[in-house]
Amino acid sequence: MNNSSTMNGSRKAGRTIDIVNRGLKSRYRKEKRFRLYGILSIVASAAFLAFLLTSIVMNGYSAFLQTYIKLDVPIEAGMIDESNPKRSNFQGIIKSAIREYYPDVTERREKRELYSLFSSGAAYQLRNNVLDNPPEAGTTLSLWVLADDDVDMLMKGHMKRDVPESERRLNDRQLRWIEKLENDGRIEKRFNTTFFTSGDSREPELAGIWGAVRGSFYTMLVTLALSFPIGIAAAVYLEEFAPKNLATDFIEVNINNLAAVPSIVFGLLGLAVFLNFFGMPRSTPLVGGIVLMLMTLPTIIIASRAALKAVPPSIREAALGVGSSKLQVVSSHVLPLALPGMLTGTIIGMAQALGETAPLLMIGMVAFIVDVPGGFTDPAAVMPVQIYLWADSPERAFVEKTSAAIMVLLGFLIAMNALAVVMRKKFERRW
């Protein structure tokens, strides 16, 4: 106290407590201001996030429903090829069923317009149906078949009926035919299972995310299987065993730099090394996974090293003190304690890899692939690339598909991050 009053010298400050009291108000004001800034920035980021999510959901939710049309398909003798039902002309059967429902449509051009209300997938639906339980001749199959994407857009309100004919993709005649279906209760929106069960397609109503989900799954599996063990082994060696010298410093600097390298560079590397030099198959989850592994490794190594550093030295000393070897210290004490942090780092790295597009474009995963991949060496798309492809497509119906695919991708990311949180909580130990 004496000290501070002498320090204030000529001012009639007096006791320290007075100085403290005088400054108190402005200190509290400062703190209040600081808190306000914090709240404002949180509100701002929350608002952006909410805006982003709402716009995606608003755009995309309608993709989970799809317009179906009820079609009565009379099966007459000779329509189905008895010896080889697969070879039957299902397209023709569908067309005749349509003509039967609209008996007054006779002109060739009108017929074509009429057929275009139905998806080209309708024939496949009929085919599957017939192959599953072969109908007898003379019966009538009642099928809910897919409507064309233009009809779908109309039903979902993305296409207006009251605008001039030239400004919409369906003409007045087609609208009248649809109205007839509506009046008969033969057209309705149902849950879009196609979206979740099929691969990509040029026809929006036939396009699905499942192929991309499977592709992402295989790719992530490769990435995880490679990057987790390699990353952890590298981190443990560098942190616990490596001598501290110039070489290890150099490696450390490089790992930190690699984490900041643009991901497309990894794609170029993958193209040059894995595809061109090693001749691995193009567009496959195997190569995609390896490229993403290269990209993920620095993240995992850095996070794992931080987790290892956070293990208190007292635990190591205790284990060494009772005669553990270095490896025993690491395997039975340090590693279990660092594991939650390592897992968190790995899952964050995997989530990053799951959302990565650029390096995969370089190794050909941007190809249009209809088949759902069945393994690591089948050509495949991944979710972010699928989103990119759909976003690039001109059809109006792909807009909602794009948003829906983003929702699926976000769902996976949220699930992965939730897993990271759960794992951290589960394995976390305090000392």
Would you tell me which residues interact with another protein (CB under 8 A)?
Answer: 243-244, 312-325, 328, 332-333, 337, 429-431
| Structure letter (DSSP) for residue 147 | B
With respect to another protein, which residue has the nearer C-beta, 63 or 308?
A: 308
As measured in angstroms, the least distance from the Cβ of 247 to another protein is 14
CA 420 – CA 425 distance, rounded (Å): 9
CB atoms under 10 Å from CB of 226, counted, come to 17
Closest CB to another protein among residues 185, 321: 321
Least distance in angstroms from the C-beta of 283 to another protein: 47
Q: Look-up: residue for tokens 């090293």?
A: 305
CB of 424 to another protein, least distance (A): 15
Q: How far is the CB of 313 from another protein (least distance, A)?
A: 8
Residue among 89 and 325 whose Cβ is closer to another protein: 325
Toward another protein, which CB reaches closer, 109 or 430? 430
By beta-carbon proximity to another protein, the closer residue of 122 and 334 is: 334
Separation CA 93–CA 89 (nearest Å): 6
172-183 helix and 108-115 helix, angle to the nearest 10 degrees:
60
Question: Which residue number, 1 or 322, has a Cβ lying nearer to another protein?
Answer: 322
Euclidean distance between CA atoms 54 and 218, whole angstroms: 30
As measured in angstroms, the least distance from the Cβ of 332 to another protein is 8
Provide, rounded to whole angstroms, the least separation between the CB of residue 425 and another protein: 15
Alpha helices in 246-396, H assignment, sequence order: 246-258, 263-270, 285-309, 313-321, 326-329, 335-354, 358-362, 383-391
Distance (Å) of CA 160 to CA 19, 21, 146, 163: 73, 70, 21, 6
Classify 75 as helix, strand or coil: coil
